[in-house]
Structure 1
Amino acid sequence: MKVLTVTGYKPMELNIFKEDDHRISFIKAAIKKRLISFIEEGLEWVLLSGQMGVEMWTGQVVLDLKETYDIKLALIPPFENQETRWPEPIQQAYQELTLTADFYKPLYVGDYKGAFQFKAKNKWLIDKSDGCLILMDEEFPGSGRFFHQETAGMEHYPVYLITPADLDDVVEELRMADPDYWT
C-alpha cells in the first residue's frame, strides 16, 4: 500500500474541547504506531481532508514522522475555507498544516455549498488511496461512519480501524514505559 487515507472523530465527538487535552497524546500515539507499521511496509503518502480532530492530529503526527521516515502528506479539503467556523487555536493549527503539507488543494473552489461536497470528498479520497485507517468505535461511529459506509462492499479497498481497545492498549503501553509506574 503506497497511499493511505486517515479519518475519524472530530474532537467534540470525543468530548475533547481543549487543544491541550491529555487524551490527544494517546490518540496521536495510536495513530503513530499504526502509521509506522504501514511506512515500514512501503507507505509513501497519507491523504487527509483536514477536518478537525483525528485528521488534524494525524497531520501533526505525519509531520513529526517526516523527521525520521520518507513519508508525504497531502491535504485535500472538500472546499476552501473549511476552517472559518472553527475555534481560533484549531484554525491556526489547520493553517500550519496547509503550509507544511507536501500537497494541498481543495477539491472544490469556493466556500461550502452543500453536503454533496463531503460525499464527493469521501469518494475522491477512496478513489485516490489504496486503503484507509479510521479511528472509530463501530458501536458509536460518529462522523467517521460516512466514510466507512462509502467503503462498504469494496473488496479491494482495505479498511483498518483504531478501536477503543487499541487506544486502551496504547495507554497501557505508555503507562508501563513511564519509569515512575514501576516505583
Structure 2
Amino acid sequence: MSRLWITGYRSYELGIFDNNDPKRKVLDYVLKTELATEIENGVDWIISGGQMGIEQWSLTTAIDLKKEYPDEFQTSMIVPFADFSSNWNENNQQSFATVKSKVDFFASVSNDSYKSPQQLRNYQEFMINHTDEALLIYDLDSQGKTQFDYEKIKNYAADHPYPYRLITFDDLQTASEEYLESLDNGFQDE
C-alpha cells in the first residue's frame, strides 16, 4: 500500500478567493498532473486535510480523477479535531462539507473540539505515521502555515525512509506556461 499526504498553502495565502481565479486554474492543472502521475506510479490513497486551499483542491482533483482511474485509489480527508470548520463562514463550511461528503474516508484525529495547539501536533504525527510520502505545494522563500508541516516532514525524513517533494513557485510558473500551452493545444478543463 502506498499512501500520499498532500498539503500546501491556504487559499488566502495564495490570494485566491474565487474558483475562477486564473491562479486556481493553474493549480488545478498542476494537481491533476501530479496526482495522475502518483496514481499511475501506484499510490493507493490520496490523503489530505480539510483546509481551504491546496488540501481541499487536491481532494477535489483526486475525486475528479476517479473518472479516469475508477478502481486504482481511494481518497481520505483527515482533520485535527472535531467541528473543524465550525468557525468558518457559511460558504467555506459548505465547501468543506461538499468535499467531506465525496471522499472515501473521513476522520478527525481528536474527537474533541479545538482545545490547544497540541491537537495540531498530534495531527502532524498521525499524518506522518499513516502515510508513506508527502507532496507539498510550498516554497521555502514564501512561508505560510504549511511551514509547520514542512518542518515536521523534513525532520522525520532525516531519520526515516519518508520521501517528500516540494512544488515551489518556480515550478508553478513553469506549470503556468505549460498550462497556457495546453490550452493552445486543445486541453479542456473538466
Q: Give TM class, smaller chain.
A: over 0.9
2:58 alignment counterpart: 58
Q: Mark the CA change 1:179 to 1:149 in structure 2 (over 3 Å): closer, same or farther.
A: closer
Task: Give the unaligned 5+ runs of structure 1.
Answer: none
User: Matches of 1:107 and 1:72 in 2, distance apart?
Assistant: 19
2:164 alignment counterpart: 159
Residues 59-108 of structure 1, C-alpha deviations (whole Å, 9 max, x = no match): 10011011111221111111112112223222111101111111111111
Residues 98-151 of structure 1, C-alpha deviations (whole Å, 9 max, x = no match): 111111111111311111111111110010000100000111131111111112
2:109 alignment counterpart: 107
**Equivalent residue in structure 1 for 2:147, among 145, 148, 173:** 145
**Equivalent residue in structure 1 for 2:82, among 80, 83, 98:** 80
1:120 aligns with 2:122: yes
1:179 alignment counterpart: 184
Aligned length: 181
SS of the equivalent of 2:84 reads: coil
Matched AA of 2:146:
G
1:44 alignment counterpart: 44
2:2 alignment counterpart: 2
Matched AA of 2:13:
E
User: Matches of 1:15 and 1:121 in 2, distance apart?
Assistant: 26
Aligned partners of 1:8 and 1:134 also within 8 Å: yes
TM-score by length of 2: 0.89
User: Matches of 1:179 and 1:97 in 2, distance apart?
Assistant: 31
